[in-house]
Amino acid sequence: MLDNRTIEIVKSTIPLLEDAGVEVTDHFYKRMFSHNPELKDIFNLANQATGRQQFALFSAVAMYAKHIDDLGALGELVERVAHKHVSFDIQPDQYQIVGHHLIETLREMAPNEFSDEVAEAWVKAYGLLANVLIGREHEIYSDYQTKAGGWTGSRLFEVKDKTPESDLVTSFTFVPVDGGEIANYQPGQYLAVKVKPERAENVEIRQYSISDKFNGESYRISVKRESQPLAGLVSNHLHDAVQVGDHIELMPPTGDFFLAHLDKPTVLISAGVGITPMMAMLETLLASQTEQPIWFLHACDNKNQHTYGKQLKTKENQLDKLHYYYWYKQDDSDDEKALSGLLNLDRLQFELPLTDGHFYICGPVEFMRFIKQQLVDLNVAAEQIHYEVFGPHSDI
Report if residue 395 sits inside a domain: no
Give CA–CA dist 38/49, Å, rounded. 18
Three-state secondary-structure class, residue 251: coil
Work out whether strand 294-300 and strand 385-388 pair parallel, antiparallel, or are unpaired.
unpaired
Do 289 and 379 share a domain, yes or no? yes
- Confirm or deny that 277 is annotated as ligand binding: yes
Three-state secondary-structure class, residue 2: coil
- Confirm or deny that 174 is annotated as ligand binding: no
Give CA–CA dist 189/123, Å, rounded. 33
CB-count exposure of residue 379 (10 Å: 0-12, 13-18, 19+): exposed
At residue 45, the pLDDT reads 61
Q: Order the strands of the 219-224 sheet from edge to edge.
A: 204-209, 190-195, 247-250, 155-164, 169-176, 219-224
Do 36 and 9 share a domain, yes or no? yes
Do 44 and 126 share a domain, yes or no? yes
Which DSSP letter does residue 254 get? B
Give me the phi and psi of 297, to 5 degrees please.
-115, 125
At residue 52, the pLDDT reads 54
Within a 10 A sphere around the Cβ of 307, how many other Cβ atoms? 26
Do 273 and 139 share a domain, yes or no? no
Three-state secondary-structure class, residue 52: helix
Distance, CA of 253 to chain centre: 12
Do 194 and 84 share a domain, yes or no? no
Q: Given its phi and psi angles, is residue 100 left (phi above 0), alpha (psi -120 to 50 degrees) or beta?
A: alpha
Cα 222 to Cα 16, 47, 168, 226, 307, distances in angstroms: 40, 20, 10, 13, 9
- Specify the CATH number for the domain of residue 346: 3.40.50.80
At residue 38, the pLDDT reads 92
- Confirm or deny that 179 is annotated as ligand binding: no
Residue where one domain finishes, among candidates 189, 224, 254? 254
Q: What is the set of active-site residues?
A: 95, 137
CB-count exposure of residue 41 (10 Å: 0-12, 13-18, 19+): middle
Do 135 and 239 share a domain, yes or no? no
Nearest to 7 by CA among 175, 125, 103, 113: 125
Residue where one domain finishes, among candidates 199, 234, 254? 254
At residue 121, the pLDDT reads 96
Q: Please tell me the number of Cα atoms within 13 Å of 216 on its side-chain side.
A: 0
At residue 388, the pLDDT reads 83
Work out whether strand 385-388 and strand 266-271 pair parallel, antiparallel, or are unpaired.
unpaired
At residue 332, the pLDDT reads 65
Using alpha carbons only, give the angle 284, 323, 326 rounded to the nearest 5 degrees.
100
Report if residue 185 sits inside a domain: yes
Low-confidence ranges of the chain (pLDDT < 50): 49, 51, 392-393
Which residues are paired to 243 by β-bridges? none
The count of structural domains within the chain is 3
Which residues are paired to 294 by β-bridges? 266, 322
Work out whether strand 294-300 and strand 266-271 pair parallel, antiparallel, or are unpaired.
parallel
- Confirm or deny that 389 is annotated as ligand binding: yes
Q: What's the whole-model pTM score? A: 0.91
Do 70 and 163 share a domain, yes or no? no
- Confirm or deny that 207 is annotated as ligand binding: yes
Do 10 and 123 share a domain, yes or no? yes
Report if residue 278 sits inside a domain: yes
Report if residue 394 sits inside a domain: no
Under 8 Å between Cβ of 150 and 144: yes
Q: Which domain does 357 fall in, by range?
A: 266-388
Do 190 and 76 share a domain, yes or no? no
- Specify the CATH number for the domain of residue 49: 1.10.490.10
Do 90 and 120 share a domain, yes or no? yes
Residue where one domain finishes, among candidates 228, 254, 280? 254
At residue 394, the pLDDT reads 53
